Amino acid sequence: MEDEVLKSGVASGRVQKMTALIVDDNRVNQTIHHRLLQNLGIENQVVGNGKEAIDVHCSGKNFDLILMDLDMPVMNGIEATRKLRAMGIQSTIAGVSSRSLTDNIQEFIEAGLDDFQEKPLTIAKLVSILRKVQNHNN
Amino acid sequence: MLICIPGVNPQGTMQNSWQSDNHCLSNLSLKLLYLHAELFHSHHGLLEEYVQSLFDEGIVNDQFSQIQTLKSMEQPDLVVQLIDAYLVDVEMILSELTSYSDFPDVDFSKVTLLAHKVKDRSSCIGAEHVRLACDELIQASVQMNKQNFVRALSWIKKEFSCTQDKLESYAQHGHADGA
């Protein structure tokens, strides 16, 4: 129900069209998250690791939301989040991982996350994240 | 061209009728279409039953339902593609884990990371049995207990093998169904 409200909000212009960056090294996760966001009317881009997330921001792009995976090659989610905050990026960064909060996610949160959600990302979890983005933007 | 269609009148006696071949072909096409639709619905029903059995056995969880909703007209076989990618991915990771278990000294930092990867992939596709088996493997890796690690690895491979068979069956039926 909530996702329909959000979708109609985006469609009618009451909710500003959001943009998102998906940072995940796994193709299956990339596809799932991409489609979930797309179905909610959120324009989104996908990159494969933390370094690519930094590079895409260095190219001048900006996003309302960054879905940041934790375990990635080249540059993991903790380092990427830290670097993005150091660059002054104020987007809502939501960490997503199959590791639970009890698995010492503290370092990830302290790197600069606004939210953390345990995988799998469901519509309900995504809507909860998007509400935070809306509040952040307002 | 006219075609003779044998028939029976309401009084029960034989009565042939004559129809143009176009009309006949149109009737034949309709009948074939109807038959095709019946077969499709029958096959689709079987697929739904099979999916339900996967849920009943605990092979998959609600996340698998979510995945089903992601397919579209443009990508009708998206779910099958995701399943194929998941199976290839996890098979490779398990093979790597097996190679680590062959060494006398296991690099537990690496195997912990790999175990988390299997859990990550399995969580996102909704492969419940495999996901649950990952916790034992992760615990053994974190505790750096080789014996437990080998045992947990054997269990997860068994669960994955079973899940692989079931999901491959689904994928084969799914291809035929346009799923």
The gap from C-alpha B91 to its chain's centroid, in whole angstroms, comes to 16
A16-66: pLDDT as tens digits: 689 999 999 999 999 999 999 998 899 999 999 999 999 999 999 999 999
What CATH number did the domain enclosing A71 receive? 3.40.50.2300
Half-sphere exposure at residue B132, Cβ-oriented, CA atoms within 13 angstroms: 9
CA distance linking residue A45 with residue B141, whole number of Å = 35
Asked whether residue A50 is domain-assigned, the answer is yes
Query: What is the arithmetic mean of pLDDT over A99-115?
Result: 88
Average pLDDT over every residue of B55-67:
92
In a domain, A14, yes or no: no
Tell me, yes or no, whether A89 lies in a domain.
yes
> By the CB < 8 Å criterion, does B78 face chain A?
yes
* Rounded Cα–Cα distance for residues A53 and A46 (Å): 9
- Please tell me the distance in Å from B140's CA to the nearest CA on chain A: 14
Predicted local confidence at residue B118, as pLDDT: 96
Say if A80 falls within a structural domain: yes
Residue pair B133/B112 in contact by the 8 Å Cβ criterion: no
In angstroms, the CA B4 to CA B59 distance is 57
Range of the domain at A95: 19-137
Closest CA to A125 of B134, B62, B60, B85: B62
Greater pLDDT, B117 or B36? B117
Residue B92 backbone class (left: φ over 0; alpha: ψ -120 to 50; beta: rest):
alpha
Residue A45: which H helix or E strand, with range?
A: strand A43-47
pLDDT for B49 equals 86
A105 part of a folded domain: yes
Please give the pLDDT value at position B179: 45
Mean pLDDT of the B22-46 span: 72
* Mean pLDDT value across chain B: 84
How sure is the predictor about B60, in pLDDT bands with cuts at 50, 70 and 90? Answer: very high
Percent of chain B with pLDDT over 90: 55
Give the strands of the sheet with A92-97, arranged side by side: A43-47, A19-23, A65-69, A92-97, A115-118
The pLDDT of residue B116 is above 60: yes
Residue A30 lies in a domain: yes
Q: What are B94-104's pLDDT values in tens digits? A: 999 999 988 88
| pTM to 2 decimal places | 0.80
Burial of B151 (0-12, 13-18, 19+ CB in 10 A): middle
| Total structural domains within chain A | 1
Are A98 and B86 a contacting pair at CB < 8 A? no
Quote the ipTM score: 0.82
B67 reaches A (C-beta below 8 A) = yes
Domain assignment present for residue A8? The answer is no
A7, part of any domain: no
State whether B82 and A32 contact (CB < 8 Å): yes
pLDDT > 70? residue B142: yes
